[in-house]
Structure 1
Amino acid sequence: MATVNKLNEAKLIKRSKRIAFADVGEKGTPELVRMQGFSSMSESKSPKEYSRQYVDEDVERSDVVGFATQVGYSFDRHSPFSVHEKIADITDNEKTGSDAQIDIVTVDLFSEGDAKLARKRTYSIIPDTTGDGTDALIYSGNFRAAGDIVMGTAVSKDGWQTATFTEAGDTPAGPTV
């Protein structure tokens, strides 16, 4: 798609066109399931800056030297929905280290073609609260980056309820999830 230089010639992208999938499979056998029932999934890049002022200049300079990305989440617990079960297990049983990590693939449905632009990253689940509210059991917290972004594409054969991720430069192998 060619870019345009006039806003009225561009299309507004709805939030529902960027969706996320959690890997709920066993080690070595990915199973990417759409993350449904989330009332909040807001990403904060939290850039790390290197700032300095040189003696011969009146202005401070800043460079971005890293990121501490996190995604704030909140969901109404549905059982036995696999995504909620995995996050609830980590939260309720106070798991730590690599036992408290999850791979999440974010897919831009607004990208062109059948294979959509996707980003995969491992996140540590940092729980905050459970039980907030009186109508539904609500879980909230943050997914904090525990590794670099892996660029690739995603495809789906079931209307984006599940997906298969292919790392950029790789060719898909085996059955689609």
Structure 2
Amino acid sequence: MLPFFLGEPQELPDPALPTVFAKHVAETEEPWLELAPTAQRDRRGNRLWDLTLWRGEEPLRRWTTVTGRPETERLDRFWRPGNHAPLPPGAYSVGSPIKLHSGDLYEIGRSWFIPVDPLFGTTRGHFGIHEDVSLDGTAGCIGLAGRALTEEVTRWVKKVGARYLVVLG
């Protein structure tokens, strides 16, 4: 019997970056984002992740974020929609930031939402970068602690024109 039938967590390898993306990053100085797990946790137990803005091999700026929730860290990150696991590893396209309004969902904040779409197969979706209003983690998006931080990340993404995100771990 396979381990997933027993409910045991599985370590899945990071999917290979799309060839076009890997070649493009190697040959240009186009800015891109990288999300990498750290060993640190916040006071609520959420794993902290570094969101780094790169230009070629030079880091321009780094922010501390969360993705998922402590109790969902070991769940299937690719094929279980709605399980609140962290963002699946792989390459994503970064969309244009969307200005949020008072009628939008409270949990994603009132400032900005930056959509990120997987460039690989997964049944999970509707990912983005936004404020983690309740500071209790996210349903899989990249959560930022506070409106000011969300606006700073948005300004940088818009200013440099980052079009790709790579999620590690």
| TM-score using structure 1 length | 0.30
More helix by share: 2
Q: Which has the higher contact order (CA 8 A, sep 6+)?
A: 2
- Between Structure 1 and Structure 2, whose CA radius of gyration is higher? 1
| TM-score using structure 2 length | 0.31
More strand by share: 1
